[in-house]
Amino acid sequence: MSTQSLKLGFVGLGIMGTPMAGHLLKAGHTLFVHSRSSVPEGLIAAGATACASGQAVAQQADIVFIMVPDTPHVADVLFSANGVGAGLSAGKTVVDMSSISPIETKVFATKINALGCDYLDAPVSGGEVGAKNATLSIMVGGSEAVFAKVKPLFELIGKNITLVGGNGDGQTAKVANQIIVALNIEAVAEALLFAAKAGADPARVRQALMGGFASSKILEVHGERMIKRTFEPGFRIELHQKDLNLALASARALGVSLPNTATAQELFNSCAARGGKAWDHSAMVRALEGMANFEIGQNAP
């Protein structure tokens, strides 16, 4: 598959979708694109064809990728009057790389299958950096045969690519991922705030911790953001709120208690209440700083 040019579609060209679509183009594939906002000039210059609707994308492409913010957006992209579903014909494939409800994903897959088409849910982790560097982790739900067909394309945009199970299981894995990420951000924020308030240099504390059992990608990347106060997204707090809402709603349906996930969500809610919905999710530290009346980097009293 990787040696021949395929007709691909991509709907949703935001912070993540634009570089992901760009990697498919660079590999020599023909790309038809659509986005609620204008299609980035860089993609057009690289050879992408802008389409007026998701329907038009699906009419031209054999495999259509979707990368939009939330469950209702995917539903609209797929099933609106001029959506992707209206342009599909038997034998085509839809790959939703958004992070949405596992339950709704199963419903969407059933509807697409009824059109004679295949469906993969393939949410990603790695943020803007991973999208730009083609190092995203991709968690896939769907059949083994369809996964095998699309995997060479996944390899153009990601590194850690796993078929988790059937439709919906990719989204379940992503929700689990977002629980872990949120709780790690909270742990790093508490630790660095504690160290700074105690009078230690948080940058040196972070450096020391990077060599031990507390080391993590969150400590490496988001710990630095907290210290340097670089809270431009990245991954917006409002999107992580959405993911934790999925986690908490699913947990209620399953009869599972996620107490620390709920705490992390409340810290995000505090940031949002201060106008921080568009801050990077590492800015969760600001909620803790507010409770301490102390900011990392500030001289200890």
H-only helix segments in 8-123: 17-26, 41-45, 54-60, 71-79, 84-87, 102-114
Active site amino acids:
174
In sequence order, which residues have a C-beta less than 8 Å from that of residue 221 and are 6 or more positions away? 129, 282
- First CA to last CA distance, the chain: 62
SS3 call for 135: coil
Q: Is the pTM of this model over 0.95?
A: no
Contact 119, 91 (CB under 8 A): no
Tell me the C-alpha distance between 156 and 55, whole Å.
Answer: 25
Reading the chain (301 residues) residue by residue, the pLDDT tens digits are 445 899 999 999 999 999 999 999 999 999 999 999 889 999 999 999 999 999 999 999 999 999 999 999 999 999 999 999 999 999 999 999 999 999 999 999 999 999 999 999 999 998 888 999 999 999 999 999 999 999 999 999 999 999 999 999 999 999 999 999 999 999 999 999 999 999 999 999 999 999 999 999 999 999 999 999 999 988 899 999 999 999 999 999 999 999 999 999 999 999 999 999 999 999 999 999 999 999 998 764 4
